Chains A and B, each alone.
Chain A
Amino acid sequence: MKQVLTGNEAAAIAAKLARVKVVSAYPITPQTAIVEKLAEFVANGELDAEFMKVESEHSAMSACIGAAAVGARAFTATSSQGLMLMSEMLYIAAGLRLPIVMANANRALSAPLNIWCDQQDSMAVRDSGWVQLYCENNQEILDSVLQAYRVAEELMLPVMVCFDGYILSHTAEPVDVPTQEEVDDFLPPYKPPHPLDPARPVTMGPVGVPEYYQEIRYMLQEALLAAKDKIIEVDREYGKKFGRRYGLVESYRSDDAEIILLTLGSLSGTAKDLIDRCRRRGERVGLVRVRTYRPFPREALVKALRHAKAVAVLEKDISLGWTGALFADISCALANVEGAPLLLNFICGLGGRDVSPLQIREALRAAARAVEAGEVRRPVRWLGLREKLVGLRA
């Protein structure tokens, strides 16, 4: 049934449909409505779950860990500083192999304080061992949360569903909401192999001494790499049941493109419009959207990008002291690929700075110039930056 939902509502409704048993979340802008909505569902008896009024994000994730460890499906949501505060526990949840699902409303990182959208927060924890999915619209948020539990519980890995703060979290769009019966048919109950249970006592989280730690870590890495196939498998089944599929990456008019934009999240929507306009003028441009960022979909991206002459990577994050994270990753993926395209990085939209089609067009032009020149003179540029006002250049 189609409802008009904000991204936050879509995430909350998905958690409800997933029949989560423990919600342990702390409010933070712009995710707050998720927590409020779930509190409402529990208070109304619409969701049969324990709603924990935790006192911080660190405790939120800790409680999710406890709940998942005893066999209760757990859900949380956060953003920015909250994600940073719980970051210790993110690595631990992955190391403990607990299938927690979390919604992250992408928001900039302090300092200075900024409540608006960018992707620095989830990028900062890309090494944590969580599967990371980036959504383009609110429909995808709902669908991804549901898919996430299947992927998580079948591989015993935590999954983070990321979506742009304010742009998606607070914007209402039509979303097709499946029925509880349809979701029950897709998502069976959670049955971990070794839950904490007095009947069969196990020890979780021991001291992983040097004789074993490396192998234990390797197993986690293998699980994360296996998630690529699992995501595709679950997505395919979801597509059959609900008519919507997302895959690891999405290609938009890029099969014969000479210049391809590579991006994540809602920026893709704006970029696709521009691509259409450029195509109408005969420009051979296209877009590839990274939907699954961790595990990094190397094979799918190399396949989608290698034929292009240039790839303009647009991202709302910066790995300070180096380039954007996605740019570094795709550079690595294409490093030994013969005839790989030229790569350019465009940092944009930080702290909620609006990314306009004009800015994206600037990126396309820079890519075209690089193709003509046969080289990239400035690999990293910032879009929409008022360079003249920046203190360093005074």
Chain B
Amino acid sequence: MRAAPSIPEEELLAPGHRACAGCGCVLAMRYLLKALGRNIIISMATGCMEVVTTPYPETAWRVPWIHSAFENAAATAAGIAAGLKALGKKGIKSVAIAGDGGTADIGLQALSGAVERGDDVLFCCYDNEAYQNTGIQRSGATPFGAWTTTTPIGRVKRGEDRPKKDVPAIIAAHGAPYVATASVAYPLDFIEKLRKAAAIEGPTYVHVHAPCVPGWRIDTNKTIEVARLAVLTGSWVLYEVEGGQLRVTFKPPKRRPVVDYLKLQGRFRHLVDEEIARIQRMVDEQCRRFGIE
């Protein structure tokens, strides 16, 4: 049995930030800082986390932090890593953080470039499955069937009609030395994976599933419960790819039906039985691929 990772009590993210009550993403940020500590430099993309933590003249960050633009967190972080290397400054990790928008869509090129070059950057994507900061528009990471403002429920079209873009697989296909998925409902696992990633010199990628209260239409107190159900229903799989080898890090002992996950979220409220069955088949196929019963 593995020993639980030590979680420092020090808070490197100050309260008073403007995240929504019950925000899953800011919790992910809190965990990231507990995992990595002070000797990091964060390059963050435009998005929820950037906006809620840095309303001038206030900042919630107690580590060095830069925001330059939306699509280039990875490129700015790569420049930071190169600068640190050129200056001979060791022991400081360059960390890029972006939402699913700044990772899967507009941010994909910069991320791909950094991974291909082998830049020493830890890239963390906090995935709330839509462009939440601008008011819940779909992203490439929006799951099939979800309501968003750009995939509304109407007579002709009913929600997102495309499956979720598999960014971890894309990064693994680049040959990145370490790729992992995580969830805010499993913080120890997330922290362990971040530490593992940070210890590797080279491009590493951790993708954390984090619910959004207004975007997923959930009650403010259900964030962790919903994130947990995503994992327990097999909708979100926790795994690592290390040196090209895939390992599922958590297999739900008795996989629950996906409807248990969907019914807590207003963004799936419109789904009829047929649609839920379709989603169940998609989840079943995903679990089959990962060897989850």
Residues of A within 8 A of B (CB): 21-22, 24, 48-50, 52-56, 58-59, 62-72, 74, 88-89, 92, 96, 196-198, 201-209, 212, 216
Residue B132 is within 8 A (CB to CB) of chain A in the complex = no
In whole angstroms, what is the CA distance A203 to B57 when docked? Answer: 10
Residue numbers in A under 8 Å from B117 (CB-CB): 52-55
Contact A96 B68 (CB under 8 A): yes
How many chain-B residues does the 8 Å CB contact rule pick out? 46
Inter-chain pairs besides A59-B113, A67-B80, 11 sampled, C-beta below 8 Å: A55-B116, A56-B113, A58-B75, A59-B78, A62-B69, A64-B79, A66-B83, A70-B84, A96-B68, A203-B59, A206-B67
Whether B55 sits at the interface, judged by CB under 8 Å, is: yes
Cβ of B62: which chain A residues have Cβ within 8 Å of it? 201
> Chain B, 49-76, contact with A by CB distance < 8 Å: what is the 0/1 string?
0110011110101111111110110011
For A49, the closest partner residue in chain B by CB is B86
Does B151 have its Cβ within 8 Å of any Cβ on chain A?
no
Contacts of A206 in B (CB 8 A): 54-57, 59, 67
Once the chains bind, are A88 and B69 in contact (CB under 8 Å)? yes
**Chain B nearest CB: distance from A86 CB in Å?**
10
- Asked if A204 contacts B83 (CB within 8 A), the reply is no
> Which one of B38, B50, B113, B119 contacts A198 once the chains associate, using CB atoms below 8 Å?
B38
Could you show 21 A-B contacts with beta carbons less than 8 Å apart? A21-B86, A22-B82, A24-B79, A50-B85, A52-B82, A55-B110, A56-B113, A58-B72, A63-B79, A65-B76, A66-B82, A70-B41, A72-B84, A72-B86, A198-B38, A198-B40, A198-B64, A203-B65, A206-B55, A206-B57, A216-B56
- A65 in contact with B79 given A21-B86, A207-B51 (CB within 8 Å): yes
Question: A48 to B86, alpha carbons, bound, how many Å?
Answer: 8
CB distance from A280 to the nearest CB of B (A): 54
Q: Is the C-beta of B220 less than 8 angstroms from some C-beta in chain A? A: no
Q: How far is the CB of B91 from chain A (nearest CB, A)?
A: 9
The answer to whether the Cβ of B35 comes within 8 Å of any Cβ in the partner chain is no
A316 to chain B, nearest CB (A): 30
Residue pair B112, A55 in contact (C-beta under 8 Å): yes
Closest to A197 in B: B64
B55 and A196 contact, CB distance less than 8 A? no
Known: A207-B51, A207-B56. A69 touches B61 (CB 8 A): no
Q: Whole-angstrom distance between the alpha carbons of A55 and B72 in the complex?
A: 12
* Interface assignment of B109: CB less than 8 Å from any CB of chain A: yes
Min C-beta distance of B121 to chain A, whole Å: 10
For residue A64, which residues in chain B have a CB less than 8 angstroms away from its CB? 79
A54, A66, A205, A207 — which one has the most chain B CB atoms within 10 A of its CB?
A66
- B87 on the interface (CB 8 Å rule)? yes
How many Å lie between the Cα of A205 and that of B75 in the bound state? 15
CB-based contact B86/A22 at 8 Å: yes
B56 touches A22 (CB 8 A): no
Closest B residue to A56 using CB positions: B109
Question: Would you list the 3 A-B pairs with minimal beta carbon distance, nearest first?
Answer: A66-B79, A63-B79, A55-B113
Could you tell me the distance between the alpha carbons of A197 and B91 in the complex, rounded to whole angstroms? 11
A204: shortest Cβ distance to chain B, in Å?
4
Bound-state Cα–Cα, A54 to B43, Å: 17
Q: Mark B10-54, 1 if CB is under 8 A from A, else 0.
A: 000000000000000000000000000011110100000011001
